[in-house]
Structure 1
Amino acid sequence: MDIRKIDDDLSVAPQIQPEEVAELARLGFRTLIANRPDREEPGQPPMADLEAAAREHGLHWVYLPVESGNITDQDIDAFDPVFEEAEKPVLAFCRSGTRCSVLWALSSARRMPLEPIIQRAGQAGYDLRGLIPRLQQQAANRKD
């Protein structure tokens, strides 16, 4: 598994497998957020299998599918409260982890400065500098 820590509350990962969920629980994750649509590509495990594994190992499960390369404001609006209210720490996953890091960054821009967002994502291996205009747009909706 390629788990990339954004901060103490969130790590992101590429596609996980049902047999890896026990290890995620052992590592202390409390919530799994699936940002990948079911059947996005052939060979990916069914979300129902991942949900069953999460529940079997005492993890909270959230299925919030987001289309790759097309994160809408509605997706951000949906992710924000789910993440904020989730039992932490959270592991969010998609095909590569990028969608999850972008969702986190865009929703976080509503309540924190952009520099730490870019820095945390970068330390996890996700260069989000190309999103600065969109992050600034979300920051205009800041909840101070």
Structure 2
Amino acid sequence: MHKVEEKFFVAGQIFPSDIKSLKEQGFQTIVCNRPNGEEESQPIYEEIEKTCKENDIKCFFIPISPGEIDPAKVFELNSIIQEEKKTLAYCRTGNRSITQWAFANAKDLDAKIILDKCKSAGFDLSNLKEVLLAIKG
């Protein structure tokens, strides 16, 4: 798990058995950025969602294919971030989730700040600098 901001973290694939521990760590929201069926061994979103509901954790399904940029999905994540609840977004490796976080914050934060936060979390998104600047306008 990688801390991006005080209340936003990204991770690779999680499993239903992880949810209780995430609840104990104070997570209030889980965002799945991984489409169902990418790998045979991955749990489907509905399994994660069911366990989240049992543990009183909000759960959102915002599946992203590698390389996909979908403004509607970026806006959806931005509104989740605005709730300021401790949130974990996950995909296969965390890369799609951190990229979505970067896009979701591009209007409000300077590109350098976004890239620095990503780097501190262990992700080099410097190749997206121009895209972030374009989103900022």
Residues 34-60 of structure 1: per-residue CA shift (max 9 Å, x gap): 111111221100111100111111111
Shift of 1:84: 1.9
- Name which of 46, 56, 59 aligns with 1:58: 56
Aligned to 2:10: 12
Aligned to 1:100: 97
Distance 2:116 2:96 in 1: 17
Distance 2:9 2:86 in 1: 8
Please report the RMSD computed on the Cα atoms of aligned residues, expressed in angstroms: 1.2
How many residues end up aligned between the 2 structures? 137
Matches within 5 A, 1:43-82: 43-82=41-80
Distance 2:76 2:53 in 1: 22
SS in 2 for 1:117: helix
Residues 69-113 of structure 1: per-residue CA shift (max 9 Å, x gap): 22233332332223323x511000001101110011111011111
Q: TM-score, normalised by structure 2?
A: 0.94
Name structure 1 gaps, 5 residues minimum: none
Distance 1:39 1:84 in 2: 30
1:89 aligns with 2:109: no
Which runs of at least 4 in structure 1 moved beyond 6 Å after TM superposition? none
Name structure 2 gaps, 5 residues minimum: none
Q: TM-score, normalised by structure 1?
A: 0.90
Q: Which amino acid aligns with 2:51?
A: A
Aligned to 2:108: 111
SS in 1 for 2:10: strand
Distance 2:135 2:22 in 1: 31
Residue pair 1:110, 1:138 contacting (<8 A) in 2 also: yes
Residue pair 1:107, 1:138 contacting (<8 A) in 2 also: no
Q: Which amino acid aligns with 1:97?
A: G
Distance 1:14 1:96 in 2: 4
Q: Which amino acid aligns with 2:109?
A: M
